[in-house]
Amino acid sequence: MTSVDDAARRAEGALRYSLVLPIFNEEAVLPLLLARIDALMDALDGPAEAIFVDDGSRDTSGLFLRLKARQDPRYRYIGLSRNFGHQIAITAGMDAAEGEAVIVMDADLQDPPEIVLDMVAKWAEGYDVVYARRRERHGESRFKRWTADAFYRLLARFADVDIPRNVGDFRLVDRKVVEAFRGMPEQDRFVRGMFAWLGFRQTAVEFERAPREAGATKYTLRRMTRLAANALIGFSDAPLKLVVVTGFTVSLLAGLYGAYVVARWLAGAELVTGWASTILIVALLGGGNMLMTGIVGLYVGRIHAEVKRRPLYVVAAREGFAHAAATREADAPPLQRAG
């Protein structure tokens, strides 16, 4: 990206940055969040927009953000028809983003907006993806930190791509990477893994993750478990290999046991059919079969979800986009204007 290109884009009024923030029941933190987003956009070196994706909030978050989008032309609001999940909300925001660089961050202020300036500096050096790596994780329980570390170790061991450790969805993504991301239609999404799979030139900036400013985390144990399953199944065939290894091991042990019984029979040893041993073997084989069937079923379920080709999300309301389109129309050179 050259200085001539940058000057041309600014002359045409092109957006340079898009901030994408998924929201779910965050009314307690919104006043402070919006103040820091305002300060961030004022500090950026080009025009910016902030896209808030309301993922089916049941509090007043949607009303608050729609009003902000009406009052400030830099703000956009997308209201999804229900709660589709954090990863889908990120996707909805990236689909709507028009900036040359798209920055994804959480709304709870554990992702400090000020770190975006460090990301922009790395982007200016020529990196296509700049992700934020957590140096410290303040305000999280020991169980949460332990499970997160185990999750990243498991991914590093079995994933087909190199997914950075201690990295969430807080990142800056260049426009060409966004376009490549849009071409990935899978239903069960693990966004940070998708960006790792895409490649391009990537680097990290480190930060200390602060405790939540207000409200409670929306990532319950159930949601974290589902995200981990999406990551492992979506980016590794290790579970299927486990099925093969388990089946082979059980068959080998059964064969060895059968050979042992035949050898004892040929030696004239007295054989007593034991009810306990029979039940043990049946339970072992039945449990192994259920485990293997379940793992295969997870993959079959994913195939079923893909072939239905349902949309990833449904938008119920939008605010601030009509004003943005009108502004671009007014700022465009005469030959580029509609009509």
Residues 173 and 225 in one domain: yes
Q: Name the residue among 109, 87, 97 with its Cα closest to residue 192.
A: 87
Question: What is the per-residue pLDDT for 6?
Answer: 44
Position 230, amino acid? N
Question: What is the per-residue pLDDT for 167?
Answer: 79
Q: What is the mean pLDDT of residues 109-132?
A: 89
- C-alpha span between 23 and 93 (Å, rounded): 11
In a domain, 337, yes or no: no
Q: Which one is predicted more confidently, 10 or 176?
A: 176
Residues 210 and 320 in one domain: yes
Percent of the chain with pLDDT over 90: 15
Residues 119 and 86 in one domain: yes
Residue-number span of the structural domain to which 86 is assigned = 3-236+311-329
The encoded tokens of residue 40 equal 């961030």
* pLDDT bracket for residue 75 (50, 70, 90): very high
Q: What is the mean pLDDT of residues 323-332?
A: 54
Residues 290 and 176 in one domain: no
In a domain, 37, yes or no: yes
Residues 174 and 280 in one domain: no
Which CATH number belongs to the domain containing residue 159 in this structure? 3.90.550.10
H helical segments located in 139-267: 142-158, 175-182, 191-198, 221-234, 238-266
Residues 112 and 247 in one domain: no
Residues 107 and 175 in one domain: yes
Residues 224 and 275 in one domain: no
Task: State the pTM of this model.
Answer: 0.65
- C-alpha span between 100 and 79 (Å, rounded): 24
Residues 319 and 256 in one domain: no
Question: What is the per-residue pLDDT for 77?
Answer: 94
In a domain, 335, yes or no: no
- C-alpha span between 162 and 193 (Å, rounded): 8
Residues 92 and 187 in one domain: yes
Question: What is the per-residue pLDDT for 156?
Answer: 60
Residues 142 and 113 in one domain: yes
Residues 170 and 274 in one domain: no
In a domain, 123, yes or no: yes
DSSP label at 268? T
